[in-house]
Every structure is written in C-alpha cells, then in structure tokens.
Amino acid sequence: MQTLIWKNLNQAERQTALTRPAQTLGDEITAIVADIKNQVVNQGDTALFALAEKFDKVKLDSLKIAPSELDNAQNALSDDLKSAIDTAYANIHKFHTAQIPTPIDTQTMVGVRCSVATRPIEKVGLYIPAGSAPLFSTVLMLAIPAKIAGCKKIVLCSPAPICDEILYTAKRCGVDEIFSVGGAGAICAMAYGTDSIPKVDKIFGPGNAFVTEAKRQVLMTGTAIDMPAGPSEVLVIADNFANPSFVASDLLSQAEHGADSQVILLTDSHVLADKVLGEIESQLQTLPRADTARLALAKSRIIIADNLTECVAISNTYAPEHLIINTDNPRQYLDDIAHAGSVFLGAYTPESMGDYASGTNHTLPTYGYARTQSSLGLADFYKRMTVQELSVDGFKNLANTVIQMASAEQLDAHKLAVTVRLDELQGK
C-alpha cells in the first residue's frame, strides 16, 4: 500500500489519491451482454442451457431446482453452520422488520386529506453469485426483506451447480423458485421471462462486470434494479488507540474480495500506519486468497492526516461503501459522516459482522454512489402511492388556488376540471 501525507499533496494529487480503480465495462462487455440478451429473448430456455454449458461447464437436464435437491442440501450441511445461518437470519429479520413503514395520513388543510399507501413489489428476482466465493449470505440479505415486505413471487438465480449453502439458505428464507442460471443470462431471463423462469419486476443482487452490464441494459428496457454495483471497498479511520492487527485484518477482509477492490486507511498517527503495514504483510502469509488481496492492495492507500476531523472530511469526499471508525470514541464522529454505505463503530465492530449477521444489509452502494444512494433496506421492496381525498368544503377551500395556478400555466383543462365542479355546486 502506498503511504501519503495529506498536507503535502496538492489538489490534483489529493483527487488522484481518492480515485478508485477504473471499472472495465468496455465496448466488448457491452456487446457480449447484448448478444446474450438477444439469445435469451429469442431462444428462452434453450439459450440458458447453452450458456450454462459454455460458461459454467455444466450440462443441465433442468433449470429449476427440485424439492429433493433442497432436502439433500439441508442434510448435507453441518448443524453448526445451520445454527449460524439461523442466528444471522434472526438478526437480519429483526432489523428489517423494524423498518416496516409507519402509516402517513394527514389533513393538509380543512377537508383535504392526504396519505401514503405502501405496496410490495409483486415479483422480485434475486441474483446470487457463485464462483470462488458462493455468497449464501446474500440470500439472507435479499430474501428476508422481500418476504417481510410481502412480495408475492421471489425468484432466485445462481450459477450451476448451486452449492448446498445457497440452496439451504434459500429454502430457509422462503424463496419460491430457484434456478441454476448464472451471469448475464440469469439477469436477462428474470427481466424478460422464459418458459421456465418468470418475468420479475425488479432485480436485486451483486455480480461481476457482465452481471453489472446486464442489469444496466435491462434497466434501459423497463426492469428495475436495486443499485449500480462496483468493486467492493472499505475505508478505515483509526487513531493511535487502535489495534494495528484489527485494522490490518479489516483492510484485508475487503482486499480479498477481488483484484479491483480498494481499501483505504485514514489516520493521524505515523506510528499506527507503520504498524498496520507490518501486520498486513504478516497476515497475508496466512491467507489462501493472498494473491488476490495483493493485487487490490497495489491500488490502495494509507493517508496520514493532521487530525481525525480531517480524516472524516476526507472520508466524506471518498464516500466509501464500508466505513470503519476505530478510534477512542468513535460515536462522536457519527453525526459528521455525510456519505457512507454502512458505518461500523469501534474496535469490536469489524465489517465482517455486517457482512454476515449483525442485522444490517450488506448490499451497499459502491464507487462513490453513497453520495446519493442508500444501503439496501425494506423500502427497496416496496413502492408508494400517494392518496388524496377532498370533501366538498375542502374542494371549495382549495379551488381558487388551483384556478389561479392553472391559469398562470395556461393549462385551461386543469382549470376547467375545477370550475365545472364549482358551477355544479353553485347550481344546487
């Protein structure tokens, strides 16, 4: 990791220091995904079988997972792992249940009643990546709020062969249908529907560059998505009270995600920075994914600021996906955090806790989108309708206001919709 002294950098150098690795969603990926989309739209299941054989090296007899496969998965897992999943389930369910919206029903003026009606998105699609790290924890993060919200159809796709952990967790969460379909093909299948896979209204879940591009393309044709997704990232603010071993492990926990991940340490302590570098090198020796982590670390930074207030300001400029504040009194800085996907306070709140089991959602805005987007929550599985109802007196009280405004905008039919009612009332 490169170590930088913030006060010694000019404006251009500061901007470079907080630049993320370039995302490689080039023309080639766009063209490949567009071709996959056309195959799925025109050939349906036939295309999905072919794509599984081509990309996942699996020849499938059926796309849909049978109930017997779910039973086998349940029997294959250890009791310890099932207990861990149950604990995570309970915490995530409790936190998301607390997000059930409070009814809004108010009188804006006498006789004018306005309210908000909340409805679940009817059909949702969940994409769960596999590859070198099958993310069964993501099933919990997506399926639990979908069930709490009351979505009528929950479909899950994951590359073949789907691991027992994903199958067990999907059953535990009450997913309706599970399909062995991966990559861009899965996104397109859920967006447009095939003979086997139902068309959904909104797609959730992370993935590689092809999945990300597929989500972008289906968004352009009317299927909603959860959020733009980029490489994973963490920013740690730490002072000289922090344990260097803890800080190093937090940085490595994100660096191991992928070569395009980025980790940043902000500190006011030269001593801590040096100790963390030593700990990183030591801990790397024990990690199976050390080569991947080293590639991410090569694009990462340690930035030494004058004080923790400056560290917070730098963090707000970066707008990290994960923000860990490992200082003597971390909560004192929370009110000053303007942009972050999820915040972890204190020495004993590693990012891993939120990734798996604290209760918060690990589906978060990356690549600086935390400036405008929120972590995934129950609200993402709902849509809202505003409702208004006017009594006769309310209509009379508001009529002249609307007449004046419609006249000024030269929208005479809007004005007429009011005046015809006034005329009818005056004729009674």
Residues involved in catalysis: 321-322
Cβ atoms of 344 and 353 closer than 8 Å? yes
- Which residues, other chains included, contact 374 with Cβ-Cβ below 8 Å and sequence gap of 6+? 341, 365
Q: Is 322 annotated as a binding residue?
A: yes
What whole-number distance in Å separates Cα of residue 119 and Cα of residue 98?
17
Q: Is 137 annotated as a binding residue?
A: no
Per-residue b/e over 89-105, b at no fewer than 16 CB within 10 Å?
bebbbebbeeeeeeeee
What whole-number distance in Å separates Cα of residue 330 and Cα of residue 326?
6
Q: Is 355 annotated as a binding residue?
A: yes
Kindly calculate the radius of gyration of the chain based on its CA atoms and give it in whole angstroms: 26
What the block records as the tokens of 256 is 């191991």
Look up residue 109 and give its DSSP letter: E
What the block records as the tokens of 408 is 């000024």
Strands of the 112-120 sheet, one edge to the other: 104-109, 112-120, 382-390
- Which residues, other chains included, contact 285 with Cβ-Cβ below 8 Å and sequence gap of 6+? none
- Which residues, other chains included, contact 234 with Cβ-Cβ below 8 Å and sequence gap of 6+? 250, 251, 253, 254, 263, 264, 320, 321, 322, 323, 324, 351
- Which residues, other chains included, contact 265 with Cβ-Cβ below 8 Å and sequence gap of 6+? 1, 235, 236, 238, 247, 251, 273, 276, 301, 302, 303
Residues making up the binding site for Zn(2+): 254, 257, 355, 414
Residues making up the binding site: 232, 254, 257, 322, 355, 409, 414
